[in-house]
Amino acid sequence: MKKLFFALTLLGFMATANATIVTTSPVATSISQDADDQATAESATFTQELKKRFIEGGPSFMGIVLICLILGLAIAIERIIFLNLATTNTKKLTEGVEEALSSGGVDAAKEYCRNTKGPVASIFYQGLDRMDEGVESAEKAVVAYGGVQMGQLEKNVSWISLFIALAPMLGFMGTVIGMIQAFDKIEAAGDMQPSLVAGGIKVALLTTVFGLVVAIILQVFYNYIVAKIDSIVNDMEDASITLIDILVAQKK
């Protein structure tokens, strides 16, 4: 044991010494500083290039597409936070409700559901609240309130799909308008100059690229949100069936 402890201590000392040598080495410090300077320069160049392209694309259409991105991301982040908070461990909830029914009755089970967050717990509470009226009444309450909870889960999701469709459409519109302006310049000049055509087409295509990028970003968030909603809804349906089975067994 002493030999093992001594070996581990020696290895730790050697590792610390090597790290100190590497950290304090002038060559390592110079390389690290050069890498940081290069990363900063690349970041500044990317930011300047993005700003330049945004201005070239025209503030009118590019600004509208940017607003679509900001609003879409705001709604998507809000929905993701809400859905993550709405996720419930249905197995644990079911076991807790069943145990509360066995030990303390309906009131204890309702109190357990009241202290648990999430739509599944709310559905359980509505079903338990109608238990005195019969299993069929409890089942109707579970189904009805399940629809209400589903509506809350899908709230504002349609706005994200609207921004996904709207962003590339605005980009295409900016492209068409830019092409028209390019042909107007050609008509005014009376000559087919490559510089006139190339400049107009480049500016026109920037709006399309930006619109497609915005749509792709929002589409990723939208698919994640839809998958999360489907997962929660499946848990709600499975848990509701389990609750009705528990209530039927409780009535016997």
What are the tens digits of pLDDT across the range 95-149?
888 888 878 777 888 888 888 888 888 888 888 888 777 778 888 888 888 888 8
Q: Output 222 or 128, whichever has higher pLDDT.
A: 222
* Angle, helices 194-251/26-56, rounded to nearest 10 degrees: 100
Q: Output 175 or 157, whichever has higher pLDDT.
A: 157
Q: Assess whether pLDDT exceeds 60 at residue 19.
A: no
Indicate whether 158 and 201 sit together in one domain. Answer: yes
- The residue out of 56, 80, 103 marking a domain boundary is 56
Indicate whether 8 and 133 sit together in one domain. Answer: no
pLDDT value of position 51: 63
Indicate whether 11 and 78 sit together in one domain. Answer: no
Indicate whether 137 and 242 sit together in one domain. Answer: yes
Q: How far is CA 97 from CA 91, 139, 146, in A?
A: 10, 16, 18
Indicate whether 157 and 143 sit together in one domain. Answer: yes
DSSP conformational letter for 74: H
Residue 45: give the domain boundaries.
1-56
Indicate whether 190 and 81 sit together in one domain. Answer: yes
pLDDT value of position 71: 93
pTM for the full predicted model = 0.70
pLDDT digits (tens, 9 = 90+) for 165-212: 998 888 888 777 777 777 777 777 766 666 666 666 766 778 888 889
Indicate whether 132 and 42 sit together in one domain. Answer: no
> 114-153 burial, b if ≥16 CB within 10 A, otherwise e?
eebebbbbbbbbbbbbbbeeebeebbebbeebbeebbeeb
Coil, strand or helix at 227: helix
Q: Measured in whole angstroms, how far is the alpha carbon of residue 56 from the centre of its chain? A: 30
Indicate whether 168 and 135 sit together in one domain. Answer: yes
Mean pLDDT of 151-164: 91
Mean pLDDT score of the chain, rounded to an integer?
Answer: 75
Most confident of 23-27, 60-64, 116-120: 116-120
pLDDT value of position 125: 84
Indicate whether 143 and 98 sit together in one domain. Answer: yes
- The residue out of 41, 56, 71 marking a domain boundary is 56
Mean pLDDT of 215-224: 94
pLDDT value of position 22: 36
Indicate whether 72 and 136 sit together in one domain. Answer: yes
pLDDT value of position 243: 82
Backbone region of residue 105 per phi and psi (left: phi > 0; alpha: psi in -120 to 50; beta: other values): left
- What percentage of residues in the chain have a pLDDT greater than 90? 16
Indicate whether 20 and 139 sit together in one domain. Answer: no
Residue identified by tokens 């005014």 is 188
pLDDT band at 72; cut points 50, 70, 90? very high
Mean pLDDT of 58-79: 86
Q: How far is CA 153 from CA 144, 146, 156, 230, in A?
A: 15, 11, 9, 10
Which has the closest alpha carbon to 58: 163, 159, 215, 180?
Answer: 180
Structurally, the chain folds into a number of domains equal to: 2
Q: Assess whether pLDDT exceeds 90 at residue 151.
A: no
Indicate whether 23 and 78 sit together in one domain. Answer: no
